[in-house]
Structures are given as structure tokens and as C-alpha cells.
Structure 1
């Protein structure tokens, strides 16, 4: 007699909206899908950036985790009360609408959350924070951009600077470390920290590199770097996805038990 394989937790991943062959398309980069499926051991469910068709209540009843990924686009500055970004800046208003509306509801409902790069910045904006649009132009800041785009893609994701992890925080507990090396592929960063958010790590120049939601009992973590591209060779990167997957499995158990008791 064969035993059925355990059900994987379902994790919603909000897509980017972009143009492909003159059509609007919804997509998530493959690195996130692979890290979630192979390391976190969850089932990634891509949620389109179509605000009118996505309601929080249906997702909360269906999913065990929520992910906001990195992206070539930036959060529109109007979302945090600043002047518009330069016209040459890539933005994604459709994703802004979905992610910034859903995120507080997911956190309030106890859904585990992982935000990476843009997702980290969306977490800050969703909780009332603001972003610095050009970190590299600020006195005393490192240049956190990815560098030469003509390099092989793997070169973009090589570790470039250290982070100091806050002792006793959520990131410290899952990593077991107080310092780590991370990659850096962003030109924006946190300016004003959002309400109710806790700093989990900083860069040598003082820039915030990781945050969590202070009052949330479940896993909530936003990181400015890209662990999804280092799960093959970085125990630290794998630990982030493994801890997120464990939190999603706990949520799945609770969700299915409550359904059976109805």
C-alpha cells in the first residue's frame, strides 16, 4: 500500500506586470520559484498583479504563506508621499496596487511573510515608511547597485558587503550568526522605517538590510539582498527559506485543522 505524499503548503507569490511580445504578462523570476519549491518545500502559487480580481479573504482561506519578490521595477514614490521618480525609472503600478493592499491583511491574519529586495521595500512602505531613491548619492553610503550588467548573471549575485545582524532578533535566531556577507543589487533603500517594524540587520554604512513586523507572532521577514540566488552555496540563504517553509507548514496544519472543526 502506498502512502500519499504530504501536501505542500501553498504560498502566494505576487507577479510583476510587464510587456512580452506586445502583450501584458504576469511573471515571477525563476530563482524565487526554485528556492521556494526546492528549499522551502512549498507550492508557489503565482498571483497576478490584477488588483480588481484578487481579494484578501479568498487568499487567506487558501494559502499558507505570502511572498513579495525582487523586481527590476521600483515602488512608485507617490505611494510613500514623495515626488514622482524620474520618467526613466521602471515602475509597476499594478504590482504596487496588489502587494501594498494585500500585505497588511496577510500579516494581520497570521500568514507567514517573506519579502526580498522590492518585497522588503514594499513591507516598509505598506507600514507607512519611505524609501531613499538613490542610496549611492547619499554621503557616507556604499554603492549598493549590482554593477556591470555585461558580467555573467552569477556575478551579479556574489556577496559584496557584510551585514550586522541584531542579536536576539528573528534573523539571528534562524541564522545563528551575528554577521554575514550578502549580495547587493539595489539603488533604493529604506529612508524612514515603517511603524511597527523592527530592524533585524544593517549594512556597514548604517543602511537597514532586514526588517520584521514587531507584533506579528508568525514568521515575517524582509531582506534587502537576494538569498534566492545563493541557495546552492550559502547555508545562510538556505536557512532563510527553510525557516519560512517551516512556518508555512505550521500555518498549513492550523488552517486544515480549523477547516475540519467547522
Structure 2
């Protein structure tokens, strides 16, 4: 899983929230391996050892120069994560490695495949429902905020057996121009893209919400993580049989 690069009490650090570790270990049933944000060279060195990749969410935003030189984006930024994650996406797709991209991760997936983002959603009242609340209570911040509708006949209708769901929402950027390679799997009622899939891949899925949060109690997040884990195990068996 991807890590963020930030300074904590003066020390440069590579960080992953425990909720992602728990989601991989107990939701997907896989072994969590944290990948430090060391840039493209790390991605090249580790990719052959991986059976799946989870791109985590983050408080940081992708820099607009990565997808549109005319767009203004606001920090915090994490260029070391950008370099690592965008290369991981490309390598995973080349090798058909299962990939689950969460929040910032879904935005990375779209940008890596040539898509663009809309920034500064927090300044547009029309998108207020998507932006995190100011509450310090995590249960409030990660509480369900709005409805999403799954694409009829898509992957999510098969995985979760539902047409719609209520999800949490903590983002200030969203997909603007969807990559030509991706298909929409879910939208919010205001048109914001909430889930995408790479149709030619075994399992490359992005979601804008946070399925790692209390996934055990959520009938959308739990089957999503299980489906990711199943794809990872299938990849592992195929590698072992070579």
C-alpha cells in the first residue's frame, strides 16, 4: 500500500493510517506491505514482488501541473507520493496486478491514465456535501454524507448486489475529465464520479469514498475489500504456479 511523505515532530516520515492496514489484513485477507514514498525507482524495484496494490487516501492533493498547467490547486502537496503512486499505477496495469485506489488514490489512477481533476471543491457551495466536516470526532467525519448510484450491470452491482448506497466523503478534488481508459461505476446525485473501473484489467478499481473506515459494519465496503482480496490471492496463485 502507498505511503505519504510528511514531517512529524521535525522528522521526515513515511506514513499510513492504521485503518488501511486493517482493511488490507482483515478486510481483504492479505498481508499489508507499506511502500515508502521514494519515487519511481522504488516502484520499479518492488513491483515484481507484489500481488496487489492499495492506493490510500491522503490529506494532500495532487499538484495540478501533473494533469493541467492552467489549473490552480491548493496544498498540502506530496510530490514524493505523486512520483511513487503514478508509476505504481502504470506498472500495475502493465502487469495486470490488482489495484484498489481510494480517494486520492482514485484521483491518481485517473491522472496516471491521462484524466484531469477539478480542484477547490471546498470553495464551491454546490459541492459542500463532499467536503470533510470540521469535527474532531472521527465517527462524525467519516459518517455517511450522501447517496451514490451504481452503474447498471457494472462491477459494483455484482459485488454488492445493490443499485445505490450512502457513503462518506472527505475530498476537495474530484475527477473532471475521466480518462478514456476508465469506465464509471458510480456517481453521486450531483454528477460527481464516485467509482471507476479499468475494464480490460482483472481488477483495477477506484472509489472516491473511504471503504476502509469501519468496513466490518458496511455492506458495500466489506464485499469490495473481499473482491480485492480475492483478486490478490488469484494473482498470488498464478505467480506461484509459474
TM-score per shorter chain, which class? Answer: over 0.9
User: Cα deviations across residues 232-260 of structure 1 (Å, max 9, x unaligned)?
Assistant: 311211111110000000000001111xx
User: Cα deviations across residues 142-199 of structure 1 (Å, max 9, x unaligned)?
Assistant: 531111233x111111111110100111122111111111001111101000120000
User: Cα deviations across residues 88-130 of structure 1 (Å, max 9, x unaligned)?
Assistant: x211000000111121111120100000000011001101111
The residue aligned with 1:173 is 158
Candidates 164, 188, 197, aligned match of 2:173? 188
Give secondary structure in 1 for the equivalent of 2:217.
coil
Report if the CA contact (8 A) 2:40-2:83 is conserved: no
Give the aligned length. 241
Give secondary structure in 2 for the equivalent of 1:200.
strand
The residue aligned with 2:235 is 251
Q: Matched residues in 1 for 2:226 and 2:9: separation? A: 36
- Compute the RMSD of aligned alpha carbons: 1.5
Q: Matched residues in 1 for 2:62 and 2:131: separation? A: 16
TM-score normalised by length of structure 1? 0.88
Alpha carbons of 1:19 and 1:139: their partners in 2 closer, same or farther (altered >3 Å)?
Answer: closer
TM-score normalised by length of structure 2? 0.95
- Match status 1:41 vs 2:41: no
Q: Matched residues in 1 for 2:40 and 2:117: separation? A: 26
User: Cα deviations across residues 70-104 of structure 1 (Å, max 9, x unaligned)?
Assistant: 00101111111234424xx2110000001111211
- Match status 1:143 vs 2:129: yes
The residue aligned with 1:4 is none
Report if the CA contact (8 A) 2:28-2:227 is conserved: yes
Report if the CA contact (8 A) 1:142-1:205 is conserved: no
User: Cα deviations across residues 26-58 of structure 1 (Å, max 9, x unaligned)?
Assistant: 0111100001101111011001100164143x4
- Match status 1:102 vs 2:81: no
The residue aligned with 2:213 is 229
User: Cα deviations across residues 2-47 of structure 1 (Å, max 9, x unaligned)?
Assistant: xxxxxxxxxxx11100001211110111100001101111011001
Q: Matched residues in 1 for 2:60 and 2:22: separation? A: 21
TM-superposed CA distance for 1:136, in Å, is 4.7
Give secondary structure in 2 for the equivalent of 1:26.
strand
Q: Matched residues in 2 for 1:39 and 1:139: separation? A: 35
Structure 2 residue runs without a partner (length 5+): none
Report if the CA contact (8 A) 1:54-1:98 is conserved: yes
Q: Matched residues in 1 for 2:40 and 2:167: separation? A: 37
Candidates 42, 46, 51, aligned match of 1:59? 46
Q: Matched residues in 2 for 1:139 and 1:231: separation? A: 29
